Structure 1
Amino acid sequence: MTVRVLNATGTPGRAATAAKELRAAGYTVTGTDNAPTPVKETTVTYPSGLKEQAKALIARLRTPATPRWDPQATPGAVTLTVGSGYPGLRGGLPGTTALRIRLRHGRPWQPSVTSTVL
C-alpha cells in the first residue's frame, strides 16, 4: 500500500517518524509534508478507488479513525494525517497471521493459528 504522511501536530519531525514506522511495517511512503493546520485527531483520507486500503491502514493504527474520501487526495495513495494524539501502529506486518501458543490446563502446549492483528 502506498501512503502519504502529513504532520498536523505542530511538532517538527512527526511525519518523518510515522513514515519510518510505516516503511518498517512494509508500506511504501510517497512523501511527508506538514498539514495546513495542527489537529489532535489522526485522520486517514483516500482518493477514489482506495477505500479498502484506507480501512486496512486504519486497522493498523493504535487510535480510532474513520476513512474519509477526499476528491483532492493524492492519486494512488492513502493519506495519513498525524494528529497530536497519534500513538503509532499496532505490531505485526500487514496482511499476516499471528501464531499463538496457548497453555491448556492439564494439556501440553498446542499451537493455535489466529488471524489477529497484534
Structure 2
Amino acid sequence: MAQVVTSHRGPVTGTANRAKKRRPFLIDLYSTAVGKKYVMAVTGIAMMGFVLFHMIGNLKMYAGASDLDHYAHFLQTLLYPLAPKGWVLWILRGGLITMLFLHLHAAWSLTRLNREARPVKYQSARDYQIA
C-alpha cells in the first residue's frame, strides 16, 4: 500500500521516482576539473603533433615541386582503399577543429572554476622583474 502524504497542494503518493540514468563515462569525466585538464593535455599534444607534421609537409617546398606534389597526393589518398579519396583528410580537419574547441572550452571553464574557488585576489601584485 502506497503512503499518502498531504501537502498544501493536495495528497501526494509516496512512490519512488525512477533513478536517473548515468551519463557516459567520458562526459562524466569531462565534468570534473581533472577530466578537463586531461582533455587539455591530450588535445594540446595532438595539436602540437599537427603543427609538427604541417611543418614537415611545408618543408617539402624546399625539396622541389615534385616532392611537394607527391606529399599532397599522399594526403589526398590517405587510406584510399578503405575510404574515398580526400575523406580522411576532411575527417582529420574536423577532428582538429573539434580538438581546438574542446581545448578552448576546457581552458575557459577551468579558469572560471579557479576564479570561483578563490574570488579574493592575492594581496601582492605579481610584478616579475625577471622571467
TM-score (structure 2 length as normaliser): 0.19
Which structure has more RCO (C-alpha within 8 Å, separation ≥ 6)?
1
The structure with more strand, counted as a fraction of residues: 1
The structure with more helix, counted as a fraction of residues: 2
TM-score (structure 1 length as normaliser): 0.20
